[in-house]
Amino acid sequence: MRLVEVGIPKVRHRGPALDGRPDTSDLVDRFGRVARDLRVSITEKCSLRCVYCMPEEGLPPIPREQLLTVEEIVRLVVLAVRELGVREVRFTGGEPLMRHDLERIVAGCHEQVPETPLSMTTNGIGLQHRARGLVAAGLQRVNVSLDTVDREGFARLTRRDRLDSALAGIRTAREVGLAPIKVNAVLMRHTLTNAADLLQWCLGEGCELRFIEEMPLGADREWARSNMVTAAELLDVLGTRFTLTEAGRREDPSAPAEGWLVDGGPAVVGIIATVTRNFCGSCDRTRLTADGMLRSCLFSDQEFDVRQVLRSGADDAEIANLWRGAMWNKWAGHGIDAEGFAPPERTMGAIGG
Ligand code: SAM
Ligand code: SF4
């Protein structure tokens, strides 16, 4: 029962409908989008307990036999790149650094698809001790999640007093060349007053800060549209200390962050307005969970069990077809503003953000 409460869906689909799908190897969907960006969650475990993500006691552990192994993850990543048109891969979780075999996962992927950029989203705890090894394994970039540089605020938000470790992780990552480092901060009402300090800190450290609107994906299910901090509110707060000029989506139209030049540039702050200015129409993500489920969207409960297919001895062509079907059935959008919206059963920490 508890698994369902905190977000592991019960129903999984094995045979996705492929009606009307064009004859292409790429991960296309019914709305003309093509998935090129693979997010691989490798664990549900985490060193922090961010209030908008995890329950205080952590997520229920995935039984060992259900967790994808290093070899399975590498096989699926390589297949996604070679057969399905995936162009970049990001490891996430839970906290990817909680897996001691992360370096082997990265190295295994890098050896077989060396041209594909491999990156990681991390809270930075312990990164100080792993960054060099990860670079040697083939990791190119990290996004570090950091919501505030105020020690008390950090402890309150993450339920752990580990700000120093997170900051040390960011600094080491920069020293070893895991650049450019992007810092992600989720917008919460009690850290909003420190948002300008966080931006100031990131400017000083040469990190690109991106604020993210809180999504209804937390384990406590306390998110409310009426109470969430919006991108517009954040701009007002930052505007009291900085002059911000809209720079648009500079690098890539499918990149979710809208850029704002800070005090005339060249520094930029990004805002990912997932809720109030959704960008589902240009989403290019496909997802693999730590227990081997394919997902086309953070918000859909539709999952396809690739672990079972893989372990039943399926060849690459069979797995690739399952993946294509999973993506062909992707929803148009998250529908947060629609009447009757219900958050997905699996929460952010169990999907991988
Ligand atoms: N532990 C790693 C970390 O924190 O970066 C990776 C996993 S975490 C689930 C990935 C990203 O999701 C983080 O940037 C985190 O801030 C974000 N996130 C978690 N819960 C969220 C929520 N309810 N709304 C928006 N972003 C969320
Ligand atoms: Fe852990 Fe990342 Fe979730 Fe925070 S956001 S609890 S660091 S998985």
Most distant CA atoms of the chain, gap in Å: 59
Answer whether residue 107 shows pLDDT above 80. yes
What are the b/e assignments for 128-154, b being 16+ CB within 10 Å?
Answer: bebbeebbebbbbbbbbbbbbbbeebb
Per-residue confidence band for 2, with pLDDT thresholds at 50, 70 and 90: very low
Instruction: Show Cβ contacts of residue 82 under 8 Å, excluding neighbours closer than 6 positions.
Output: 113
Distance 38 CA to ligand 2 centre (A): 19
**pLDDT, tens digit, 9 for 90 and up, residues 160-178:** 999 999 999 999 999 999 9
The reply to whether ligand 2 has any atom less than 6 angstroms from the CB of 219 is: no
How do residues 255-272 score in pLDDT, each as one tens digit? 678 899 999 989 999 999
pLDDT averaged over every residue in the chain: 91
Q: Alpha helices of 206-315 — where are they, by DSSP H?
A: 231-239, 306-311
How many Cβ atoms from other residues are within 10 Å of residue 349's Cβ? 29
Residue 92 has pLDDT above 60, yes or no: yes
Contact 3/60 with Cβ under 8 angstroms?
yes
- Which pLDDT score is estimated for 148? 96
| For residues 101-125, average pLDDT | 98
| Beta bridge mates, 300 | none
Strand, coil or helix: 25 = coil
Name the residue of 43, 120, 121 to mutate for ligand 1: max ligand atoms within 8 A of Cβ.
121
pLDDT over 70, % of the chain: 94
215 touches 273 (CB < 8 A) = no
Give the model's pLDDT for residue 257: 84
Residues whose CB is less than 8 angstroms from the CB of residue 189 and which lie 6 or more positions away in sequence, other chains included: 227, 229
The two structure tokens encoding residue 322: 């399952």
Atom from ligand 1 closest to the CA of residue 92: 6
Greater confidence (130 vs 346) lies with: 130
Q: Is the pLDDT of residue 3 over 50?
A: no
Residue 10 confidence (pLDDT) above 50 = no
| Confidence at residue 15, expressed as pLDDT on a 0 to 100 scale | 66
Residue 56 has pLDDT above 60, yes or no: yes
- The best mutation among 125, 212, 222 to test binding of ligand 1, ranked by most ligand atoms within 8 Å of the C-beta, falls on 212
Residue ranges around ligand 1 (CB below 6 Å): 46, 52-53, 92-93, 95, 121-123, 145, 184, 186, 212, 214-215, 217-218, 348-349, 353
Q: Which residue has the higher pLDDT, 36 or 180?
A: 36
Res. 155 pLDDT band, cuts 50 70 90: very high
349 lines ligand 2 (CB under 6 A): yes
Range 25-38 average pLDDT: 96
pLDDT tens, position by position, 198-228? 999 999 999 999 999 999 888 888 888 888 9
288, 289, 294, 299 alpha-carbon torsion, rounded to 10°:
-110
In this prediction, residue 118 carries a pLDDT of 98
Instruction: Give the pLDDT score at 254.
Output: 59
Q: Could you tell me which of 231, 218, 232 has the C-alpha nearest to residue 348?
A: 218
Radius of gyration, alpha carbons of the chain: 19
* pLDDT reading at 343 higher than 90: no
- Predicted TM-score of the model (pTM): 0.93
Q: At 91, phi and psi to the nearest 5?
A: -90, 140
Q: What is the DSSP letter of 348?
A: H
Can you tell me the distance from the alpha carbon of 178 to that of 172, in angstroms, rounded to the nearest whole number?
9
d(CA 113, CA 52): 35
Ligand 1 center to residue 353 CA distance, Å?
5
Predicted local distance difference test score (pLDDT) of residue 184: 96
* pLDDT beyond 90 at 14: no
Return the SS3 of 145: strand
Whether 11 shows a pLDDT value over 50: the answer reads no
pLDDT bin (cut points 50, 70, 90) of residue 252 is low
Of all protein residues, the one whose alpha carbon is nearest to atom 8 of ligand 2 is 94
| Three-class SS state of 255 | coil
Name the residue with higher pLDDT: 7 or 197: 197
The verdict on the CB of residue 153 being under 6 Å from ligand 2 is no
Residue 82 alpha carbon to ligand 2 centre in Å: 31
Please, where are the H alpha helices in 176-315?
195-205, 231-239, 306-311
| Mean pLDDT score, 325-336 | 88
Per-residue pLDDT for 128 more than 60?
Answer: yes
Q: How are beta strands 285-288 and 293-295 bridged, if at all?
A: antiparallel
> Is the predicted pLDDT of residue 149 greater than 60, yes or no?
yes
Measured from the Cα of 144, ligand 1's closest atom is 5
Q: Please, what are the domains in the chain?
A: 27-184+279-331+343-351 (3.20.20.70)
